[in-house]
Amino acid sequence: MERIVIKHLSGSKANQEISFPIDQVPEISLGRDAGSTVAYDMERDDAVSRNHARITRDPTQSKVFILTDLGSRNGVFVNQSRIAGSTPLHHGDIVQLGTGGPEFSFQMDPPPALTPKATRQIDLRQAAPTREIAPGPAANAEVRPQRVLLRHLTGSKANQEVTFPVTQTTEITFGRDPAASVSYDAERDDTVSRNHATIKRDAQQKGFTLLDLNSRNGVFVNGARIRDNVALHHGDLIQFGAGGPELTFLLDPPPADALRATRQFDPRQAPPAQTREATMTSMAPTATGGETAASSATAAGARGVGKETVERLITQTKAESRKSMVNIVAALLALVAVVAGVFVFMGRETDKKIEATTSQVQAAKSQSEATASTVKAMQDLMTPKEIAAAYSGSTVYIEVSWKLIDLASGQPLYHQSWEGKPAYVRTPKGDLEPVLTAQAQKNSVPIGGSHSGSGFAVTENGFILTNRHVAAPWKAYQMLPAGVRLELNQKKELVAVENVPQHRWYPEKSVWSQTPLGEQKPVAGRHDRLEVTFANNKLRIPAKLARVSDEHDVALIKVDTPAAVKPTVLAPESSYEDVRPGDPITVLGYPGVSPKVFFAGKSKDMLDPGGMNIVDIPVPTVTPGSIGKVIRGTVTTASGGKDDYYSASDSYQLTANATGPGNSGGPVFDNRGRVIGLFYAGNPTITFAVPIKFAKELMEVKAVLQ
């Protein structure tokens, strides 16, 4: 079977491979959106846009594929050249999403019959000298270049080659701007300006001109700095800034006059300097002493001077020479001391300048990092509309029916009445408990009920987070009606002793039954029904209770589905400290007050034709709002320590009030599309959410003792 193979070379998917049958995939989308065909990591692949690019098949040629840039922020590069709009892909092409972003190799399996080899990259500085060839009969024929070749010699692109078709290229831009035709590294090529230079082709397609775009460090051609612009020739050496990256400008095929003539040297125009003749003297020590000694010796020879006179003259000359040498050495020592002092002073001044420059660089780096962090955060922001589109399919509708049973007999328990009123007893601890019985009697009411709620997928294999009071209501409090309290009198007869108001009661904590009064019997909750329905779907999927928190209103349930479930993205635990009043939020869920949508269908089963089947289709409600207040069980004091203070529980108070019963367990998103809490309670004026920190604790296995 013919297929497309994408081999990831770098990024979060490095060394991974994914394939697509050619006749089954009309489009491959690339981006950080979780719905993309190839979805990149939100944190590690931050050069990739949410919807970055796509690969589509040419409708006229089944084996030709087109790569299109979907208006990405950082661009799309094929074989290191940024594309504009769309470009055909060939077997072996290297695709990069954004400057410094992840790369992959586009391949066909099996490969095409004729696959051109990749251009061999060479270092021109190590290349062998060019062999001169005598021009043949066709040397004077006009040769039009078909493409421009730029061979990089130094800098971040050293030993790389980029080509541009002549007929399709009117301008080639250079700079550190990611949008430049040849984009340099922002850190390593720091002599290059953001928009440094450009090469333009003239209207007659007979030549190319290099223009300096007012760069800071200038443009050099063959070692000479240009002013404004200069015509380019085959083989010219271009450098961007003194000491900056260099490249060779080449035309393929080269023009007939590409080889420059050898410059002839005319010796008549540069005669060699005449040699200076030195006059030799017989006495070297000093001019004065030598002349004196010579003249004296001559005179003495003429007059017959004796030996003693000559020795005296020689001794005098030696003493004067020693005195001159001492003076010269002293002068040299003084000069060395002065030079050393100058260097020490200059060194101190240089150290001060280096320290000041280092501080400025560090400050600029910190500001740049802060700016980059701010830009990245702005790129990740999502509107409520985008959040609903991305995660409505991960938000589920939950239906529950339950009852309280006697563990000893397995029978359901009923709340007994006394003369038509609910009956209660008081435990030794002073708590009011309903009188329970395993037999249904007149006016007795079963302990249990039915309700609905919301939840959201957190794993691909079907784990779903919701509230404890939704998934396991017997572990949450129930409101009991007003009634009467019973006691045994002295005759061991039941009598009503006082009226009891409406109050809260936790079913699973109840240990009282009717017969005999006060006998402890363990009880437990059981599901008659626990079903999950995904958004805009009619299929009810049975679920099972996986885990229940004993501290917070959080529970974990599980459904089994053959297909993978798209999970939501949970905010990290560190975000718990970052949530502040006023932060924007979005709530998804299924409030009971929202009008229902119904689907009517008739059975097509021949063995069970049945009648019309009407089911309600859950459609999630999107409720935007903000964090109104952050309630914590601990507070950080001014001294830095943590002290307990008393509050109902750790919660986020919300301004999202268009919800209500049925929305319990729904996800609360921040403006980056991450779940920061679970909606759990509220009324028309105020609502609350459990921080996701406590839900993530329920999903993990952590020791509470060291």
The CA R_g of the chain, rounded to the nearest whole Å, is: 45
Report how far residue 154's alpha carbon sits from residue 170's, in angstroms, rounded to the nearest whole number. Answer: 25
Q: Quick check: is 297 in a domain?
A: no
351 pLDDT more than 90: no
Decide which of 317 and 65 is more confident: 65
120 pLDDT more than 60: no
**Domain of 103, in residue numbers:** 3-109
Residue 418 has a pLDDT of 85
**Percentage of residues in the chain having pLDDT higher than 90:** 40
Same domain, 102 and 245: no
From 546, 565, 600, select the one nearest 396 (Cα to Cα).
Answer: 565
Long-range CB pairs of 336-343 (<8 Å, 24+ gap) are: none
Report how far residue 189's alpha carbon sits from residue 198's, in angstroms, rounded to the nearest whole number. Answer: 17
What is the number of structural domains in the chain? 3
- From 199, 233, 252, the end of a domain falls on 252
Quick one: tokens of 56?
A: 């589509």
Q: Quick check: is 129 in a domain?
A: no
Same domain, 589 and 480: yes
CATH of the domain at 395: 2.40.10.120
pLDDT in tens, 460-484: 999 999 999 999 999 888 889 999 9
Q: Quick check: is 322 in a domain?
A: no
Report how far residue 69's alpha carbon sits from residue 97's, in angstroms, rounded to the nearest whole number. Answer: 9
CATH of the domain at 45: 2.60.200.20
Q: Is the peptide bond before 591 cis (omega within 30 degrees of 0)?
A: no
Going by the DSSP 8-state scheme, the letter that residue 594 receives in this structure is S
Least confident of 42-56, 136-150, 651-665, 671-685: 136-150
Q: Quick check: is 200 in a domain?
A: yes
The residue written with tokens 């119904």 in the block is 598
Q: Which residues contact 625 (CB under 8 A, 6 or more apart)?
A: 584, 585, 586, 587, 654, 655, 656, 657
Name the packing angle between helices 287-303 and 307-379 (round to 10°): 170
Question: Phi and psi (nearest 5°) for 332?
Answer: -65, -45
Amino acid at position 464, single letter:
I
Decide which of 609 and 643 is more confident: 609
Same domain, 68 and 164: no
Decide which of 348 and 235 is more confident: 235
Same domain, 103 and 196: no
Report how far residue 476's alpha carbon sits from residue 299's, in angstroms, rounded to the nearest whole number. Answer: 136
Residue 140 has a pLDDT of 42
Same domain, 550 and 662: yes
Same domain, 505 and 600: yes
Q: Which residues contact 179 (CB under 8 A, 6 or more apart)?
A: 75, 82
CA 170 to centroid of chain Cα atoms: 35
Same domain, 33 and 181: no
Chain mean pLDDT for the chain? 80
Residue pair 471/400 in contact by the 8 Å Cβ criterion: yes
C-alpha dihedral, 317 to 320 to 326 to 327, nearest 10°: -130
Same domain, 401 and 487: yes
CA 643 to centroid of chain Cα atoms: 36
Residue pair 66/87 in contact by the 8 Å Cβ criterion: yes
- Global pTM? 0.47
pLDDT band for position 638 (50/70/90)? very low
Residue 237 has a pLDDT of 95
Residue pair 551/649 in contact by the 8 Å Cβ criterion: no
Q: Quick check: is 386 in a domain?
A: no
Q: Quick check: is 368 in a domain?
A: no
For the segment 339-356, the average pLDDT, to the nearest whole number, is: 79
The torsion region of residue 426 among left (phi > 0), alpha (psi -120 to 50) and beta comes to beta
SS3 annotation, 467-531:
CHHHHCHHHCCEEECCEEEEEECCCCCEEEEEEECCEEECHHHCCECCCCCCCECCEEEEEEEEE
pLDDT in tens, 561-575: 999 999 999 999 888
pLDDT in tens, 144-199: 788 899 999 999 999 898 889 888 888 999 999 988 999 999 899 999 999 999 99
Same domain, 541 and 453: yes
pLDDT in tens, 490-545: 887 888 889 999 988 888 877 654 444 555 567 888 999 999 999 999 899 999 99
Q: Quick check: is 465 in a domain?
A: yes
Q: Is the peptide bond before 434 cis (omega within 30 degrees of 0)?
A: no
Same domain, 37 and 184: no
688 pLDDT more than 50: yes
Strand order across the beta sheet in which 182-183 lies: 182-183, 171-175, 197-201, 208-212, 229-232
268 pLDDT more than 50: no
Going by the DSSP 8-state scheme, the letter that residue 329 receives in this structure is H
Same domain, 523 and 608: yes
Q: Is the peptide bond before 253 cis (omega within 30 degrees of 0)?
A: yes
Least confident of 219-223, 266-270, 374-378: 266-270
What stretch of H or E contains 365?
helix 307-379
Going by the DSSP 8-state scheme, the letter that residue 216 receives in this structure is S
Quick one: tokens of 154?
A: 């130094």
First and final CA of the chain: distance in angstroms?
Answer: 56
- From 83, 109, 135, the end of a domain falls on 109
pLDDT in tens, 419-456: 889 999 888 777 888 888 888 888 788 999 999 999 99
Q: Quick check: is 457 in a domain?
A: yes
pLDDT in tens, 277-293: 333 333 333 343 444 33
Same domain, 98 and 186: no
- From 235, 252, 269, the end of a domain falls on 252
The residue written with tokens 């954004």 in the block is 98
How far CA 473 is from CA of 312, 522, 530, in Å, comes to 130, 17, 12
Going by the DSSP 8-state scheme, the letter that residue 412 receives in this structure is B
